[in-house]
Amino acid sequence: MKIIFEGEKGIASVLVPASKFLATLTGTDEEKTIYVANKDLPTGTKYEIIADSVDLSDRAFRNAWTYTAGASERTSEENE
Amino acid sequence: MSTIKLNGTSSGSSIIKAPDSGSTNQTFTLPASSGTLVTTTDAGVAGITSAADATAITISSAEKVGIGETSPTTHLLCLGEDSGSGDSGASSGISFRASNTENYISMSTVGGANNGARGLVINRESSNELIKFCGDGRGVSQFTARAWANYNDTTIYDSHNISSMTDVETGMSYANFTSAMPNASYVVQATAYSSNCDKHGPYIADAETGRVKILSLLKTNCDYADRTTHFVIFGDA
C-alpha cells in the first residue's frame, strides 16, 4: 500500500512505506500503513491509502492531482 | 548429637554441624588424597576466592551457568544491576580490563525509546560509548551507517532505518528516518544509476533530524529526473 497526499508544492506526493520498516510493525497492512502516515506525514495532512497496483508512473497526471475531500487526516502527535 | 568437634593438634578446634532441619542422612565423602577444606568466606578453593554471603554463581541441573541469576536459561546468563525499568533500563554486564591499566571495556544491555528494544552497548569506562547494537537492528556509532536506501520514484528496493520515502515530484524525494538523527549535522553520500551518460547527479537539501530531501538533477539542462538513487548517511551516535 502507498499513501498519496497533497505535498508541499500543491501537487500529488506519494509516501512509500519501506518494507523492512513495515516488517517490524504488527496489525493489518492498512493499520501498518496508517502508522507510517501518522509517523511521517506533517500533522494535519489529509491523505488517501492506495493499493500498490495503482499506476503512478504518469507524472503529468500526478502533477495535476489536487486533494478534494474525504481523505484520512493525520491528527496524532504520538509518533513524533 | 548434632555436632562433631575436632580439636587442633596444639590448640583451637573446628566443629562440623548438621543443619537444624531439612537434611536427611546427607553424606559428605572426604577426598582420597590429602587436601584442605575451607569455608567459602575464607580463602576459596583451588584459586577461587569468594567473599559472597549470597549465591553469586548458579549452575543449574541443565548445566547452565547463571551469574547473579539463579535460574539461567542460556549456557551463560549474566544478570547485571539495572537502572531504569523494563526495556528502558540499562543493565551493567561484563567488563574486560588489562592487568596494567585501570581502564576497562564493558558490555551492557541498553533499551529505551531511542534505542529500540533491548540491545547491547560497548563502553570504554562507564560512559564512553564505542558502539551500540540496538534491539531494532541498528548499529549506532560514529563509524556505522545511520541509514541507507536504494530507491527510484515510488519503489524502495532496500533500506535501513528508513520508514518511508516521500516522492514529492519528479526527481525529488524525502527520506524519512525510522529512528531520528540526534542532530542535523549528519553526512549524506548519494549517487545515482545512469545507463545513458546523461550526467546525472543527486544532491541533498533540507537536512532535518527526521528526514532529508534528496534531489536528482540532470546536469545537461538542470531538469529534475527520476533515477535509481543510492544514499548512505553517517552521523553522531
- The whole-number mean pLDDT for each consecutive block of 10 residues of chain B, a chain of 237 residues, reads 86 87 80 61 62 84 90 86 59 77 79 64 79 83 93 92 92 93 94 72 89 84 82 91
What is the rounded CA–CA span in Å between residue B217 and residue B172? 9
Run of H or E including B112: strand B104-112
pLDDT, residue B20, reads: 86
Run of H or E including A48: strand A46-50
> CB burial class (10 A; 0-12, 13-18, 19+) of residue A61?
exposed
pLDDT, residue B135, reads: 77
Segment A36-66, tens digit of pLDDT: 999 999 888 889 899 988 887 777 666 666 6
ipTM attached to this prediction: 0.81
Asked if A63 is an interface residue toward chain B (Cβ–Cβ < 8 A), one would say: yes
Asked if A78 is an interface residue toward chain B (Cβ–Cβ < 8 A), one would say: no
* B6 contacts: CB under 8 Å, gap ≥ 6: B13, B14, B15, B16
pLDDT, residue B162, reads: 96
Average pLDDT for A26-44: 93
Does B156 sit within 8 Å of A16, measured CB to CB? yes
pLDDT, residue B134, reads: 82
pTM value > 0.80 = no
B137 → chain A, closest CA residue: A24
Asked if A2 is an interface residue toward chain B (Cβ–Cβ < 8 A), one would say: yes
pLDDT, residue A80, reads: 46
B177 → chain A, closest CA residue: A40
| 3 state SS of A62 | helix
